[in-house]
C-alpha cells in the first residue's frame, strides 16, 4: 500500500510572475453581471439600513411602538437583502471554481442556534417555527466551513418556510449514515411538493422555480459542493419536499472516503430518476408519518455547477508543515491562505497545529508554482521567515477502489509523524527570557477519535454478523 513519503525539500519563497495557478478562466457574462450588480448594491443597501436604524433607535426623534415595529421589520428586510447580495457574490466565486472554504472540525449545536437567531424575525411574520431533530450536545463534530454551512441551512430553511403553511414547522433532521462516516442534514417541509413543471425546471436547470425568491437551489448546490456533497432533493406532490446534504464525521477516514466518492461522482452526468423502492411511509416533517397512494416520488441529485475537474482520475497529494520558529499567528495566517487557495475539487486537511495534508486538482508543475507562491509570508509577517517544509509530490489515483484508503493512510501517518511533544515560543507569550512551551494535544485527540470511530464500526459489523448467523440457524 502506498504511503506518504518523508519531507524531501523546503519550499522557497519566489514571487509569482502573474501566470500559472493564479490565472482564472474567463467568466460567463451572466456571472460577471451578477457579481458587478452585487458590488453596486452593497453600499447603498448599507446606507439605507443604517438610516432606518437611526430612526428606530430614536436618535432622530421619538417614535411610538407601532412605528418602531415597522422600522424593525424594514431593517429585517434589509438584512435579508444583504444576505442575498452576499449569496450573489459567493455564487459567482463558487461557480468559477474558487470555493474559498475554510474547513475544520466544528460543533453543530452552536451553529444551529445562530441560524435560528438569524431567521427568527423572518419566520416570526408567519408564525413558523424551526424544529432541530437529532442535534444535541452529543452530536459528533462535522468537517466543514461553519459560515457556509450556516448559509446553506438558512437558504434551505427559507425555501421550506415559503412552502409551509402559517403556524406550522420546518424540521431539520440529523441522521448518521449506515456506515457511520457521515451525518446527513435534511430540511423538511410539509408543503405541496414539486409539481411536474417545477420538477422539470430543477432537473433541467438545477435551479429553483422561476417565481421563487432569492437564488434558491443555485447557491445551495454550490454550498453543498463546497463540502464535497451533492444536494439531494426528494419530493412528493401533496406530501412535501426533503432537501439534504452530507458532512463527514469520525475523523480522517470519513473525510477521505466522502471526498474520493464525491470526486468520482463528478464524472457522471446528473439526471433525475423516479423512486419506486420507497416505503409506503413518508416523513412529512411534523414528527409523524403519512401513508400515501400518490405516484412515485422524484429523487434528484444536484452536483457542482461549473467547470469539471482538470484531472478526472487523479490528484496531487502532499503534506506541508510549519517550522518551530514560526509564530502561531503566522501559522494561522498561512492556514487561512492555504484553505482559501483551494479550488472546487481540492482538499486541505489539517492534521495538527502545524501540519496539513493536501490533495490538489493540479498538474505537478502547477502544484509546484502554487506551493512556492504560498511560501511567501503574509504582508503582516514580512519581517519573520515563513519556514515551511513540503513533502514530495505524489499522484493519487482516484480511479482505483483503494484511493480513499491511501488518502486516509496519508492523513493518519502525518498525524503520527507529528513529533512535537511541546508547543512553540510565540510572539505574544511572556518575554521573561525563559522558554515557554506547552503540549499540543491535537494529534492525540484526532488519533483517539479515529480509533474510537473504527471501534464503533467494528462493533456494529460484529452485531450484524451475529444477527445473520442466528437467522441462518
Q: What is the pLDDT of residue 193?
A: 84
Q: What is the pLDDT of residue 98?
A: 64
pLDDT tens string, the chain, 473 residues long: the values are 333 333 333 333 333 333 333 334 444 455 566 566 666 676 777 778 788 888 888 888 888 888 888 887 787 777 767 766 766 666 666 555 566 788 999 999 999 999 998 888 788 888 999 999 999 989 999 999 998 999 899 989 988 998 898 989 999 999 999 888 999 999 999 888 877 677 666 665 555 544 444 456 878 888 899 999 999 999 888 888 999 999 999 889 999 999 999 998 876 544 444 444 444 444 443 333 333 333 457 788 888 877 888 888 999 999 999 988 888 888 888 998 999 888 889 999 999 989 999 999 999 999 999 998 888 876 665 545 678 999 999 999 999 999 999 999 999 888 887 644 333 333 343 333 333 434 455 555 666 666 666 677 677 777 777 777 777 76
Q: What is the pLDDT of residue 446?
A: 60
Q: What is the pLDDT of residue 341?
A: 86
Partners of 188 in beta bridges = 171, 242
Is 361 in contact with 12 (CB distance < 8 Å)? no
Q: What is the pLDDT of residue 344?
A: 86
3-state SS, one letter per residue, for the chain: CCCCCCEEEECCCCCCCCCCCCCCCCCCHHHHHHHHHHHHHHHHHHHHHHHHHHHHCCCCCCCCHHHHHHHHHHHHHHHHHHHHHHHHHHHHHHHCCCCCCCCEEECHHHHHHHHHHHHHHHHHCCCCEEEEECCCCCCCCEEECHHHHHHHHHHHHHHHHHCCCCCCEEEEEEEECCCCCEEEEEEEECCCCCCHHHHHHHHHHCCCCCCCCCCCHHHHHHHHHCCCCCEEEEEECCCEEEEEEEEECCCHHHHHHHHHHHHHHCCCCCCCEECCCCCCEEECCCCCEEECCCCCCEEEEECCCCCCCCCCCEEEEEEEEECCCCCHHHHHHHHHHHHHCCCCCCEEEEEECCEEEEEECCCHHHHHHHHHHHCCCCHHHCCCCCCEEEECCEEEECCCCCHHHHHHHHHHHHHHHCCCCCCCCCCCCCCCCCCCCCCCCHHHHHHHHHHHHHHHHHHHHHHHHHHHHHHHC
Q: What is the pLDDT of residue 19?
A: 33
Q: What is the pLDDT of residue 405?
A: 93
Q: What is the pLDDT of residue 316?
A: 96
Amino acid at each position: 500500500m502506498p504511503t506518504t513519503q518523508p519531507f524531501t525539500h523546503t519550499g522557497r519563497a519566489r514571487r509569482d510572475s502573474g501566470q500559472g495557478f493564479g490565472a482564472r478562466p474567463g467568466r460567463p457574462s451572466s456571472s460577471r453581471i451578477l457579481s458587478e450588480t452585487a458590488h453596486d448594491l452593497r453600499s447603498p443597501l448599507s446606507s439605507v439600513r443604517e438610516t432606518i436604524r437611526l430612526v428606530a433607535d430614536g436618535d432622530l426623534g421619538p417614535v411610538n411602538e407601532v412605528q418602531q415595529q415597522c422600522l424593525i421589520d424594514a431593517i429585517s428586510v434589509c438584512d435579508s437583502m444583504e444576505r442575498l447580495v452576499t449569496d450573489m457574490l459567493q455564487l459567482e466565486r463558487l461557480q468559477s471554481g474558487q470555493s474559498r472554504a475554510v474547513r475544520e472540525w466544528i460543533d453543530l449545536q452552536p451553529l444551529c442556534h445562530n441560524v435560528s437567531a438569524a431567521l427568527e424575525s423572518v419566520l416570526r411574520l408567519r408564525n413558523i417555527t424551526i424544529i432541530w431533530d437529532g442535534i444535541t450536545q452529543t452530536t459528533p463534530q462535522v468537517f466543514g466551513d461553519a459560515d457556509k454551512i450556516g448559509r446553506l441551512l438558512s437558504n434551505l430553511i427559507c425555501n421550506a418556510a415559503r412552502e409551509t403553511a402559517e403556524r406550522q414547522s420546518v424540521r431539520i433532521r440529523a441522521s448518521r449514515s449506515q456506515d457511520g462516516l457521515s451525518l446527513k442534514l435534511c430540511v423538511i417541509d410539509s408543503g405541496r411538493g414539486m409539481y411536474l413543471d417545477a420538477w422539470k425546471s430543477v432537473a433541467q436547470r438545477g435551479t429553483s422555480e422561476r417565481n421563487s425568491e432569492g437564488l434558491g437551489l443555485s447557491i445551495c448546490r454550490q454550498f453543498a459542493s463546497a463540502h464535497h456533497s451533492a444536494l439531494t432533493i426528494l419530493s412528493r406532490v401533496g406530501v412535501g419536499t426533503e432537501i439534504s446534504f452530507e458532512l463527514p464525521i469520525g475523523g480522517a477516514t470519513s473525510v477521505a472516503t466522502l471526498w474520493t466518492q464525491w470526486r468520482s461522482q463528478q464524472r457522471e452526468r446528473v439526471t433525475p430518476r423516479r423512486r419506486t423502492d420507497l416505503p409506503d411511509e413518508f416523513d412529512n416533517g411534523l414528527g409523524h408519518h403519512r401513508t400515501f397512494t400518490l405516484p412515485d416520488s422524484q429523487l434528484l441529485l444536484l452536483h457542482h455547477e461549473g467547470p469539471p475537474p482538470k484531472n478526472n482520475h487523479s490528484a496531487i497529494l502532499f503534506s506541508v508543515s510549519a517550522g518551530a520558529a514560526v509564530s502561531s499567528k503566522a501559522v494561522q495566517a498561512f492556514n487561512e491562505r492555504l484553505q482559501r487557495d483551494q479550488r472546487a475539487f481540492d482538499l486541505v486537511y489539517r492534521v495538527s497545529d502545524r501540519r496539513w495534508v493536501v490533495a490538489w486538482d493540479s498538474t505537478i508543475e502547477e502544484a509546484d508554482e502554487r506551493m512556492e507562491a504560498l511560501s511567501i509570508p503574509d504582508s503582516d509577517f514580512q519581517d519573520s521567515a515563513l519556514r515551511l517544509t513540503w513533502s514530495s509530490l505524489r499522484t493519487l489515483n482516484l480511479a482505483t477502489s483503494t484511493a480513499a484508503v491511501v488518502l486516509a493512510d496519508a492523513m493518519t501517518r502525518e498525524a503520527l509523524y507529528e513529533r512535537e511533544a511541546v508547543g512553540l515560543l510565540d510572539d505574544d507569550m511572556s518575554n521573561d527570557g525563559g522558554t515557554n512551551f506547552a503540549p499540543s494535544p491535537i494529534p492525540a485527540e484526532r488519533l483517539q477519535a479515529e480509533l474510537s470511530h473504527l471501534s464503533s464500526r467494528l462493533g456494529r459489523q460484529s452485531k450484524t454478523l451475529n444477527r445473520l448467523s442466528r437467522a441462518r440457524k
